[in-house]
Amino acid sequence: MSQAKQVAATFEQIQQQVGRVLLGQQEVVEHVLIGIFARGHVLLEGVPGLGKTLLVRSLARVLGCESKRIQFTPDLMPSDVTGGNMYNQKADQFEFMPGPVFTQLLLADEINRAPAKTQSALLEAMQERSVTTDGVTRKLPRPFFVLATQNPLESQGTYPLPEAQLDRFLLKIDVSHPTREVEKQILANYVRGFDADRLAEAGLEQLLSAEQLVALQQSCAGIRIDDALLDYITDIVGRTRGHRSIFVGASPRASISLLKATRVRAAMFGRDFVIPDDVKMLAPAILRHRIVLHPDAEFEGITPDDCVRSILAEAPVPKTAV
């Protein structure tokens, strides 16, 4: 079996394991895995009760990663995230007490319920994989990625995330309600004894270690992408800066994110090369949180996804050699 096929088989096994407890969210699971294996962070948006937290807890078990959770609240302080120096009376000196950010998989639950100052405490961790406190920089474990959940901005008690922090998320995934059939299956699982609060009893199998996860991340980074597709990505992201409904377009970080994510999607489908469909399928999740609409466009009900769809319809699709 080729390396690409082995990687694809691993992705399929992970999706099957998570799918045992999280029903009807196959596309969400796929996008989250793309974010993780592209060494990126993922923002999940949806109303409470859709399984966002359950997804993160399940992935931590299957991927063999140490995980911690921060429940973001209006009174959460930056030191509650990063940690800080505390006085040790026995040693008669200050000692650094690591915060919950010192982990491999960090669940930032309801991240937009904390004020911007606290949200910004994650910026260095997300970008540099390190934390600086009192002039001392400390590296975070490998791998390190943030899976954050947020409620829609219309919900009571929420704060908009700073643009600089939004840009650090590789993907923003909209989590929607399940279908009627899936919701009935969820109820049937609970009738048979499943309880999300007792996830250890669900029998999820650990498929990877942290070291194997890092190796897979490096393998995905070697997927081939033609020069024509680099032009395609550049064209799509560049069009966000001149679109009639967009006030602020995406930065070059969006282009890099799209490149990284398409390589992982190619590996997920057993290919060692990227195709245009990889770009088209991932562009909305990469760009929707990185563009700011004109007020007039918002008033007319236009969404970032509408803009991305129109850009994809207008951008010429390259012909690539397989």
The tens-digit pLDDT sequence of the chain (322 residues) is 566 777 888 889 998 888 888 888 888 889 999 999 999 999 998 877 778 788 888 888 898 888 888 988 888 888 888 888 787 777 777 788 888 999 999 999 888 888 878 877 888 888 889 988 878 888 999 899 999 988 776 566 677 788 888 889 999 998 888 889 988 988 888 888 887 777 777 778 888 888 888 888 888 888 999 999 999 999 999 999 988 988 988 999 999 999 999 999 999 999 989 999 999 999 999 999 999 999 898 898 899 999 999 999 999 998 865 5
d(CA 254, CA 322): 25
- Altogether, the residues listed in the chain come to a count of 322
| Residue type present at position 106 | L
276 cis-preceded (ω within 30 degrees of 0)? no
| Residue type present at position 304 | P
Q: If residue 291 lies in a helix (H) or strand (E), which one and from where to where?
A: none
Are the CB atoms for 273 and 266 separated by under 8 Å? yes
The CA distances from residue 261 to 128, 256, 287, in Å, are 19, 9, 12
| Residue type present at position 111 | I
Classify residue 302 as exposed, middle or buried by CB count within 10 Å of its CB (0-12, 13-18, 19+). Answer: middle
pLDDT value for 315: 92
d(CA 213, CA 35): 13
- State the number of CA atoms in the 13 A half-sphere of 131 facing the CB: 23
Q: Which DSSP letter does residue 297 get?
A: H
Give the distance, in angstroms, between the CA of residue 197 and the centroid of all CA atoms in the same chain: 23
pLDDT value for 153: 62
Q: Tell me the H-state helices in 38-122.
A: 52-63, 78-82, 116-119
Nearest Cα neighbor of 105 from 63, 133, 77 is 63
Q: What is the CA radius of gyration of the chain?
A: 20
pLDDT value for 253: 93
Nearest Cα neighbor of 10 from 39, 38, 37, 40 is 37
pLDDT value for 115: 81
pLDDT value for 5: 77
User: Coil, helix or strand for 94?
Assistant: strand
The CA distances from residue 298 to 163, 174, 242, in Å, are 18, 18, 17
pLDDT value for 102: 93
Q: List all residues 6 or more positions away from 67 whose beta carbon is below 8 Å from its beta carbon.
A: 56, 57, 60, 103, 104, 105, 106, 107
Query: What long-range pairs does 96-99 form, CB within 8 A, spacing at least 24?
Result: 96/133, 96/136, 96/138, 98/138, 99/131
- State the number of CA atoms in the 13 A half-sphere of 115 facing the CB: 6
User: What is 118-171 written as a DSSP string?
Assistant: HHGGGHHHHHHSEEEETTEEEEPPSS-EEEEEE--TTSTT--PPPHHHHTTEEE
User: Coil, helix or strand for 241?
Assistant: coil
Domains of the chain: residue spans and CATH? 1-207 (3.40.50.300), 222-322 (1.10.8.80)
pTM of model > 0.75: yes
